[in-house]
């Protein structure tokens, strides 16, 4: 039996320091041997968002023991590692450089190839960590920094169908939470508050609902919440605003996903229609059930990564590293950090005032 590749993955693009060892099973599917994630939630809580300098310092403090723990838990010895894969972008440059430099140094010390990985590609392929998944498929990536619909054609081959033109959905959940007095990251709390409220209480705007294809926009919704939140006096009103916000998000996602289905089908002639929903916001139960129902109506198979691989982790980075290792797609040791690194490099930049959609 030939030796299965063993890949060490490292992730430090934002506020999670993570390391993982991934190999493959007899059928060639990824097998996670260890997956260590250390969150910095406590550090950034009081600031209401991630403070890059503090995040980078924390990555520096933790990275060596997180990597050691990942290797120890995988029960392999260092000399058996075949390649080291680190996130090179997108993300906060001071954070990215910690995991990227560590990965390059580690690879050169053990004299094995180094592989630079796009963090978004990690999210995009994350369902492969626990299920067989064939290309092409439609992907909705909803995280703290990104909200996009992508047609996933192959490893490294993506076509963006739609993206947010302003805020990401996770960021909108977090900012809404902040306006309701909830500590960062408040996204998961909004879901709990919403379950106690009346979703019909507040009528909130749905920006670019009737135009812009499957592009998304959440800035106007956030501004409307800011105005209402100033007049809120009771706990029940808080619950009602959270519920109305979540209901509005569901309506936006429903409409835009239907458009994305049509665009995906125009792009790809396929028998088996697959819709993958990845990123931290994919943990939201209401969003999950909405998209599962929509998939049933439109003959799509819905796939969510397991909860442990929805948020930032290094198993998804090691897994992309494994795919690239098999194709001998190695990176040079002078590979730069890429704070902006879109999956579809040909897609136009759609952010900021004056954007025409």
Residues binding ligand KG4 (CB under 6 A):
14, 143-145, 170-171, 173-174, 185, 187-188, 191, 279-281, 283-284, 311-312
Give whichever of 183 and 265 is closer to ligand KG4, judged by the CB atom. 183
Which of 83, 124 has the CB closer to Zn ion? 124
Q: Which of the ranges 47-55, 64-72, 281-289, 306-314 carries the binding residues for Zn ion, by CB under 5 A?
A: 306-314
Alpha-carbon distance of 15 to 45, in angstroms, equals 11
Binds Zn ion (CB under 5 A): choice among 7, 312, 315, 338:
312
Tell me the window of 29-37, 45-53, 203-211, 310-318 that interacts with Zn ion (CB under 5 A). Answer: 310-318
Q: How far is the CB of 6 from ligand KG4 (least distance, A)?
A: 26
φ/ψ region of 265 (left if φ > 0, alpha if ψ in -120 to 50, else beta) reads: alpha
Q: Name every residue whose Cβ is closer than 8 Å to that of residue 109 and which is 6 or more positions away in sequence.
A: none
- Give the count of beta carbons closer than 10 Å to the beta carbon of residue 273: 17
Convert 219-248 into a string of H (helix), E (strand) and C (coil).
HHHHHHHHHHHHCCCCHHHHHHHHHHHHHH
Say which residue the tokens 């835009």 belong to: 256
Question: Using CB distances below 5 to 8 A depending on partner kind, what does residue 191 bind out of Zn ion, ligand KG4, none?
Answer: ligand KG4
**Torsion 293-307-145-267 (CA) sign:** negative
| Closest separation in Å from C-beta 79 to ligand KG4 | 33
- The binder of 187, among ligand KG4, Zn ion, none, by C-beta within 5 to 8 A per type, is ligand KG4
Q: At its nearest, how many Å lie between ligand KG4 and the CB of residue 207?
A: 19
12 binds Zn ion (CB under 5 A): no
Cα separation, 226 vs 346, in Å, equals 35
| Closer residue to ligand KG4 in complex, CB, 106/240 | 240
Residue 283's binding partner among Zn ion, ligand KG4, none (Cβ under 5 to 8 angstroms by kind) is ligand KG4
DSSP 158-174: EEEEEEBSS--HHHHHH
- Nearer to ligand KG4 by Cβ, of 162 and 280: the residue is 280
Say if CB 295 and CB 301 are below 8 A apart: yes
User: How many alpha carbons fall within 13 Å on the CB side of residue 126?
Assistant: 30
Q: Please classify residue 9 by burial: count the beta carbons closer than 10 Å to its beta carbon, then call 0-12 exposed, 13-18 middle and 19+ buried.
A: buried
According to the binding rule CB under 5 A, does residue 126 interact with Zn ion?
no
- CB nearer to ligand KG4: give 188 or 339: 188
Which one of ligand KG4, Zn ion, none is in contact with 197 (Cβ closer than 5 to 8 A by kind)?
Answer: none
Q: Are 336 and 86 in contact (CB under 8 A)?
A: no
> Which CB, 191 or 312, lies closer to Zn ion?
312
Which range, of 23-31, 128-136, 157-165, 311-319, touches Zn ion by CB under 5 A?
Answer: 311-319
Binding at 174: pick from ligand KG4, Zn ion, none (beta carbon under 5-8 Å per type): ligand KG4
What tokens were used for 149? Answer: 């619909």
Told to check if 143 binds Zn ion by CB under 5 A, we report: yes
Task: Tell me which residues touch Zn ion (CB under 5 A).
Answer: 143, 312
């Amino acid at each position: 039996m030939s030796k299965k590749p063993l890949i060490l993955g490292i992730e430090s693009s934002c506020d999670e320091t993570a390391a993982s060892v991934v190999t493959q099973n007899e059928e060639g599917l990824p097998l996670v041997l260890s997956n260590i994630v250390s969150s910095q939630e406590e550090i950034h809580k009081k600031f209401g968002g991630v403070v890059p300098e503090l995040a980078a310092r924390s990555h520096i403090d933790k990275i060596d023991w997180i990597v050691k723990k990942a290797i120890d838990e995988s029960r392999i010895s260092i000399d058996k590692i075949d390649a080291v894969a680190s996130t090179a972008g997108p993300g906060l440059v001071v954070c990215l450089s910690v995991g990227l430099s560590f990965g390059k140094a580690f690879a050169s010390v053990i004299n094995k190839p180094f592989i630079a990985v796009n963090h978004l590609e990690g999210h995009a392929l994350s369902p492969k960590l626990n299920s067989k998944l064939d290309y092409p498929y439609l992907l909705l990536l909803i995280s703290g920094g990104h909200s996009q619909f992508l047609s996933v054609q192959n490893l490294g081959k993506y076509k963006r169908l739609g993206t947010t033109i302003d805020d990401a959905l996770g960021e909108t959940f977090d900012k809404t939470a902040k306006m309701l007095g909830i500590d960062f990251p408040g996204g998961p709390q909004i879901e709990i508050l919403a379950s106690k409220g009346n979703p019909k209480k507040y009528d909130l705007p749905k920006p670019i609902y009737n135009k812009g294809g499957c592009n998304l926009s959440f800035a106007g919704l956030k501004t409307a919440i800011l105005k209402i939140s100033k007049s809120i006096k009771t706990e029940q009103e808080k619950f009602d605003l959270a519920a109305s916000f979540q209901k509005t998000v569901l309506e936006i996602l429903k409409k835009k996903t239907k458009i994305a289905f049509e665009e995906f089908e125009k792009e790809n002639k396929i028998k088996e229609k697959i819709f993958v929903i990845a990123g931290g916001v994919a943990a939201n139960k209401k969003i999950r059930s909405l998209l599962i129902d929509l998939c049933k109506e439109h003959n799509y198979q819905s796939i969510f990564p397991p909860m442990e691989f929805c948020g930032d982790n290094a198993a998804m980075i090691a897994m992309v590293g494994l795919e690239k290792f098999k194709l001998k797609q190695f990176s040079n040791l002078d590979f730069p950090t890429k704070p902006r690194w879109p999956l579809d490099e040909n897609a136009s930049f759609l952010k900021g005032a004056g954007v025409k959609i």
